[in-house]
């Protein structure tokens, strides 16, 4: 199994692998081109080649950063505000109508606790799923392996370390449920 195959399977892999490093360098150049493009049509064309899947009416405000790009899937009518970082060492799924605030960070990579293992480049990556109609407030951090269910709201600055139930608002570090959302219209 290659290091990339191990990475995508959620197994321990070496992030210092030459093949992975070369792929990240290419993506870094493409991301730079996206971030410096001034025409929306040019930005959209770059995103179509960068991301694994991008639905209709998706808006990503530059600057945007990612590790590989191809492991990111974004559903229709989703919006990622300025400064979003997605470390997509494993799959990241964003559903439809997902709103991502400025400076949100989504991390699939998790490093070994042992300094010896970290220094050797050993890590794992866990898939993240963000379902339909989720709103993630500015500066929030989503950690590896998390599933955020439909209609949830993540408070600004929250650090999400575990799964979030549908129709709930979570906030804090670590994020915890602070209220339930009724399905009727409210602000």
Q: What is the CATH number of the domain that holds 173?
A: 2.160.10.10
- 135 in a domain, yes or no? yes
Q: Which residues contact 25 (CB under 8 A, 6 or more apart)?
A: none
Give the residue-averaged pLDDT of 27-51. Answer: 96
The per-residue b/e assignment along 114-143, b for 16 or more CB within 10 angstroms, e otherwise, is eeeeeeebbbbbbbbbbbbbbbbbebbbbb
Confidence bin at 187 (pLDDT 50/70/90): low
- 53 in a domain, yes or no? yes
- 185 in a domain, yes or no? no
- 187 in a domain, yes or no? no
- 186 in a domain, yes or no? no
- What's the N-to-C CA distance of the chain in angstroms? 50
Confidence bin at 162 (pLDDT 50/70/90): very high
Residue 98's domain comprises 3-180
Nearest one of 159, 50, 149 to 106, comparing CA atoms: 159
Total domain count, the chain: 1
Q: How far is 76 from 78, CA to CA, in rounded Å?
A: 6
For residue 78, give both structure tokens: 């989703």
From the candidates 32, 71, 77, 111, which is the catalytic residue? Answer: 111
Confidence bin at 185 (pLDDT 50/70/90): low
Residue 111 annotated among the catalytic residues of the structure: yes
Reported for 22-29, long-range contacts at CB under 8 A and 24+ positions apart, including other chains, are 23/68, 24/67, 24/68, 27/66, 27/67, 27/68, 27/69
- 66 in a domain, yes or no? yes
Give the residue-averaged pLDDT of 49-69. Answer: 97
Is the pLDDT at 134 greater than 60, yes or no? yes
Sign of dihedral through CA atoms 61, 63, 69, 71?
negative
The residue written with tokens 């955020």 in the block is: 148
Is the pLDDT at 25 greater than 80, yes or no? yes
Give the residue-averaged pLDDT of 169-173. Answer: 98
- 142 in a domain, yes or no? yes
């Amino acid at each position: 199994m290659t290091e990339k195959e191990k990475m995508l399977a959620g197994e321990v892999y070496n992030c210092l692998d030459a093949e992975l490093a070369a792929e990240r360098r290419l993506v870094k150049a493409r991301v730079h081109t996206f971030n410096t493009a001034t025409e929306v049509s040019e930005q959209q064309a770059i995103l179509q080649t960068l991301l694994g899947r991008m639905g209709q009416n998706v808006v990503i405000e530059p600057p945007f950063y990612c590790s590989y790009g191809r492991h990111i899937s974004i559903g229709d009518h989703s919006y990622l505000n300025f400064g979003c970082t997605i470390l997509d060492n494993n799959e990241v799924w964003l559903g439809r109508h997902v709103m991502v605030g400025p400076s949100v960070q989504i991390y699939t990579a998790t490093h070994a606790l042992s300094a010896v293992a970290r220094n050797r480049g050993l890590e794992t990556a866990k898939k993240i799923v963000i379902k339909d109609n989720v709103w993630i407030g500015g500066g929030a951090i989503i950690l590896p392996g998390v599933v955020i269910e439909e209609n949830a709201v993540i408070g600004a600055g929250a650090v999400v370390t575990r799964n979030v139930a549908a129709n709930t608002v979570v906030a804090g570090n670590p994020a915890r449920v602070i209220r339930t959302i009724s399905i009727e219209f409210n602000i």
